[in-house]
Amino acid sequence: MFRYVDCIDAGSVYCPCELATKGECIICSQLHGKEFCDCLNWKGTCIYQEYIWNGGKSNKTREFRKYSIINKEYLRDDILKLDIKVTKSLSRNLNNLGSFVFLKNEKDIDPYSIPISILDSDVVNNVISVVIKKQGIKSKAIFECEKEILVKGPYWNGIQGQKYLKELKNSSCLILCRGIASAPAVLAAKKIIKNNNEVYVMLDRGRSRENFAKPYFISLGCNVEDVSFLDYSGELKEQYKFEIEKLLKKWNFKTVLSAGSDEFHVKMINFIYNIDKYINFATVNNTTMCCGEGICGSCIIKGKNNEKIRACKQQYDPKEVFLRGISK
Amino acid sequence: MKVIVIGGGWSGCAAALEAKKCGADVLLIEKTDMLLGLGNVGGIMRNNGRYTAAQEMIALGGGDLFELTDKCARHRNVEFPGHKHATLYDVIKMEPTVRRYLLERNINMMFETRVVDVETIGKCIKGIYLHDGTYIEGDVFIETTGSTGPMGNCLRYGKGCSMCILRCPSYGPRISISKRAGVEDLLGMRGDDSYGAMSGSCKLNKESLSNEIREKLEKDGVYIVEIPKEDVNLEKLNIKVCQQYALKEFAENIVLLDTGHAKLMTSYYPLEKLRKIKGFENVRFEDPYSGGKANSIRYLSMAPRDNTMKVTGIENLFVGGEKSGLFVGHTEAIVTGTLAGYNAVRWGLGLKPIQLPTSLAVGDIIAYENDMKESVEGLRKRYTFAGASYFERMKELNLYTINNDIIEKRAKTLMMDGFFNEKLI
């Protein structure tokens, strides 16, 4: 049975990583306790060879560095946008689908480190923008940062099913957004449009009068529609079921990006799959992450065959995780 | 009926061709941009018992590819240590010739396409998945993916990737389809009980040799020069795939054969040492590119099979070439591939797959290799018509002959002349 398995770091400067040293590499069978090659997904480089040639060590992992906050803007009482001046290489590395960083206030201890998606990366001025919603202890600590902040990155696994977004060319894509999860969808839209695709965004305002991401989507040239997807019981409103179905027929979308909570993914993917099972899905990655290196295990979810997925590093097919009660 | 052949080496080409001749709709899938796989750096046909095997296949109607290798011959009747009446085909002309031949016969081919997984129902393969997730269904499947590489194996069991013609970094690794379908691979062993074996020859760039050597090679097909005493390395013979060439003469001499490139009959040879020999001062490797350091590792992925070439434990998967056993060489790949192609179509039609009679060398080697694989001792050996223990057996059983009339008579007596030319559908 074919499994869409990918490690976002495979073949990068961060590969082989700590998982390889402990026999837990996501891709390489030889670095996963086996004695013979059985590559799960070839990325153009042999991880085992890289590991042996590296003297049986992992490559250096990412570390926190201190950068300046050049702009701090409250989009709502509990939603903060930060513009951070970083190095050229970091801004360039973060100008990719699914990019995120770990942020931390210098005075706080390591457990405060929080993964935050990149809203935009300005590679000319080397400025990254992030949007943070005040939710718990870690996000509250970021709100306290004034002039400087610690940033650890780049990480790229903020969107699952990236393959389906990357292969879109001269086509169209539907983005369904709700809440703070719209931030990674903005950067995704930028990348999708670069490949000459049209992007249609259904943007849920949530509790605000307007979603903070709207001006970004509009400036990128997306078709944006304000919506309020859910009724009081949290179900998808009939009006939008009808609307989505109409859009799918009209635009002939090959891929849909769902940018909301995991419950939102489940609702959208199951609804759309019932209309057209050949549509591919990408989803914003909402897994709990602590270390971002697959080590701590907080990101581990179970796949459809009960296999462990280290969701901070591993790419999966969102259908395999979010489709419920439907045999494919 | 749709037959899908996975792997476009000599064995896969033979299987695809035979399945097509039998009347099936054939799709051949190859991971690189060329057919023939390691056959692109082969070249030696008809040496010793391979002559008999090639003529037997021609008599049985399965000789198309042998006729093509004869057509692309640079030298016939070449002798070199331990080997007689060899034909050396031109490795540069061979691939396009075979490709055109298959295209003319309307065999569908996909290049730069890698099969990575299967979908099964019970013990039957229903379809295959390509590297990009594309799903293709078929009725019968033939796996001829070989047993060489990928890079991790060449590193663990050899001396690392030597950049051979299979070009794993460019086209991705070989995947064992039988294993994906749930059948464990068998592994070949070396004298020291480790696994796998190293390819036994490299190719030197002919232009980089002295005029004298080049002229001699092109005239005679072979050039032999003594290795300086201090550089003789007899141990290298133990790791070699090609036991027919693991003779003392090959350790003490440089043996070059003209196959378009200059085929150097040793697994690898440090460039510095090679350049010490007269006429080799400017020499460089053509394949593997790092032939000064290492060569590819093979025999790490064989599927258990019966003598009809069907994989044990899977209903509709057949195998040929190195995937089907410890066979060495293109002749052996073509023989096993042809039988796999033929039997795949029979299976698809609901007919019982057949075994080749052991009164023919081509039938005997298939049965003999299968028996020998049962023991550890047998897993250390390689099986080829061209030498080592199997050629001895051919001689003992009176199977070895270079008399074409005798071979034709054998086929007629068995009422099998033209057997592989019969259309089944």
Q: Tens digit of pLDDT for each residue in A193-208?
A: 999 999 999 999 877 7
Which pLDDT tens digit goes with each residue over B19-62?
999 999 999 999 999 999 999 999 999 999 999 999 999 999 99
Q: Are B394 and B49 in contact (CB under 8 A)?
A: yes
Q: What is the CA radius of gyration of chain B?
A: 20
Nearest alpha carbon to residue A102 among A135, A73, A70, A141 = A141
DSSP state string for A35-68: SS---SS--SS-HHHHHHHTTS-PPPPP--EEEE
Side-chain half-sphere exposure of B401, counting CA atoms within 13 A: 16
Nearest CB neighbour to A49, from listed B116, B155, B175 = B155
Q: So what's the pLDDT on residue A328?
A: 39
What residue of B is the nearest CA neighbor of A164? B132
**The one-letter amino acid at B52:** T
Establish, for the pair of chains A and B, how many residue pairs have beta carbons separated by less than 8 Å: 65
Task: Return the sign of the alpha-carbon dihedral for residues A313, A318, A323, A328.
Answer: negative
Distance, in Å, from the CA atom of A286 to the CA atom of A178, rounded to the nearest integer, reads: 13
CA angle A229, A235, A240 (to 5 degrees): 35
| Per-residue pLDDT at B202 exceeds 80 | yes
Q: How would you classify residue A104: left for phi > 0, otherwise alpha for psi between -120 and 50, otherwise beta?
A: beta
CA distance B181 to chain A (A): 9
Q: What percent of chain B has pLDDT over 90?
A: 90
Looking from the CA of A18 toward its CB, the CA atoms found within 13 Å total 12
pTM: 0.91
Q: Residue B194 region, left (φ>0) first, then alpha (ψ -120 to 50), else beta? A: beta
Q: Which residues of A touch B176 (CB under 8 A)?
A: 38
Contacts of B194 (CB under 8 A, 6+ apart): B157
- Does the beta carbon of B134 lie under 8 angstroms from any beta carbon of chain A? no
| A49, A164, A278, best to mutate vs chain B, most B CBs in 10 Å | A49
Closest partner CB to A46 (pick from B117, B151, B170)? B151
Contacts of A166 in chain B (CB under 8 A): none
Cβ-based contacts of B175 with chain A (< 8 Å) = 38-39
Query: Which of A32, A34, A36, A45 is most worth mutating to test chain B (most B CB atoms within 10 A of its CB)?
Result: A36
Residue A112, C-beta contacts closer than 8 angstroms, at least 6 positions apart: A104, A105, A137, A138, A141
Is B125:B181 a contact under the CB 8 Å cutoff? Answer: yes
Instruction: Give the model's pLDDT for residue A325.
Output: 56
Is B179 in contact with A38 (Cβ distance < 8 A)?
yes
Segment 7-66 of chain B within 8 Å of chain A by CB: none
Q: How many CB atoms lie within 10 A of CB A270?
A: 16
Cβ distance A42 to B300 less than 8 Å, yes or no, reads no
Indicate which of B112, B118, B153 best probes the interface with A, i.e. most A CBs within 10 Å of its own CB: B153
Q: For residue B135, list chain A residues with Cβ-Cβ distance below 8 A.
A: 2
Structure confidence at residue A327 (pLDDT): 42
pLDDT tens figures, B50-60:
999 999 999 99
What's the rounded mean pLDDT across residues A234-254? 95
Chain A residues close to B155, C-beta within 8 Å: 46, 48-49, 52
Which ranges of B62-210 does DSSP label H, i.e. alpha helix?
64-71, 91-104, 151-156, 168-171, 177-180
Contacts of A2 in chain B (CB under 8 A): 116-117, 119, 129, 133, 135
Distance between A291 CA and the closest CA of chain B, angstroms? 29
- The residues facing A118 across adjacent strands are A130
Whether A326 shows a pLDDT value over 50: the answer reads no
Minimum CA–CA partner of B132 in chain A: A4
- pLDDT tens digits for range A24-75: 999 999 999 999 999 989 988 999 999 999 999 999 899 999 999 999 999 9
Q: What is the pLDDT of residues B91-135, one digit of tens each?
A: 999 999 999 999 999 999 999 999 999 999 999 999 999 998 899
The C-alpha angle B187, A52, B164, rounded to 5 degrees, equals: 60
DSSP assignments along B241-255, one per residue: S-GGG-SHHHHHEEE
pLDDT average, residue stretch B204-230 = 95
pLDDT in tens, A287-325: 999 999 999 999 999 888 888 999 999 999 999 999 875
> Does A38 sit within 8 Å of B176, measured CB to CB?
yes
B127 contacts chain A (CB < 8 A): no
Q: Is B166 on the interface with A (CB under 8 A)?
A: no
CB B142 within 8 A of CB B6: yes
Say if the Cβ atoms of A45 and B129 lie within 8 Å.
no
Question: Is the Cβ pair A30, B152 closer than 8 Å?
Answer: yes
Task: Assess whether pLDDT exceeds 60 at residue B216.
Answer: yes
Interface of B with A in 294-313 (CB under 8 A): 300-301
Give the full edge-to-edge strand order of the sheet including B73-80: B44-45, B83-89, B73-80
Residue ranges with strand state E in A78-197? 79-85, 100-104, 114-122, 127-133, 148-155, 159-160, 172-178
Closest partner CB to A37 (pick from B116, B117, B152): B152
Q: Indicate yes or no: CB of A36 within 8 angstroms of CB of B117.
A: no
Q: Is B155 on the interface with A (CB under 8 A)?
A: yes
What is the pLDDT at residue A69? 98
CB A157 within 8 A of CB A313: yes
* Model confidence pLDDT, tens digit, residues A96-146: 999 999 999 999 999 999 999 999 999 999 999 999 999 999 999 999 999
Is the Cβ–Cβ distance between B307 and B364 less than 8 Å? no
Beta strands in B83-237 (DSSP E): 83-89, 108-110, 115-121, 124-130, 135-137, 140-143, 197-198, 202-204, 222-226
Residue-wise DSSP of B174-191: ---HHHHTT-PPB--B-T
The residue written with tokens 């082989």 in the block is: A16
- Nearest Cβ partner of B152 from A1, A44, A46? A46
A30 and B300: CB-CB below 8 Å? no
Which residues, 6 or more positions from B164, have their beta carbon under 8 angstroms from its beta carbon? B38, B41, B148, B149, B199, B287, B288, B289, B295, B296
pLDDT at A21: 96
> Which of B119, B151, B172 is closest, CB to CB, to A1?
B119
Tell if the CB–CB gap between A45 and B149 is shorter than 8 Å. no
Per-residue model confidence (pLDDT) at position A228: 93
Token pair belonging to B422: 């019969």
From chain B, the residues in CB contact with A48 under 8 A are 151-152, 155-156
B 183-222 residues inside an 8 A Cβ radius of A? 185, 187
Residue B231 in this model has a pLDDT that exceeds 90: no
CB-based contact A39 B119, cutoff 8 Å = no
Q: Kindly identify which residue of chain B lies nearest to residue A28, measuring between CA atoms.
A: B152
Chain B contacts of A25, Cβ < 8 Å? Answer: none
Is B112 an interface residue toward A (CB < 8 Å)?
no
Please name the amino acid found at residue B213.
I
Query: What separation in angstroms does the CA of B277 have from each of A99, B226, B234, B253, B254?
Result: 57, 9, 18, 11, 9
Q: Which residues of A touch B (CB under 8 A)?
A: 1-4, 28-30, 35-39, 42, 44-46, 48-49, 52
How many CB atoms are closer than 10 A to CB A87?
12
Residue B220 pLDDT > 80, yes or no? yes
Say yes or no: B160 contacts chain A, CB-CB below 8 A.
yes
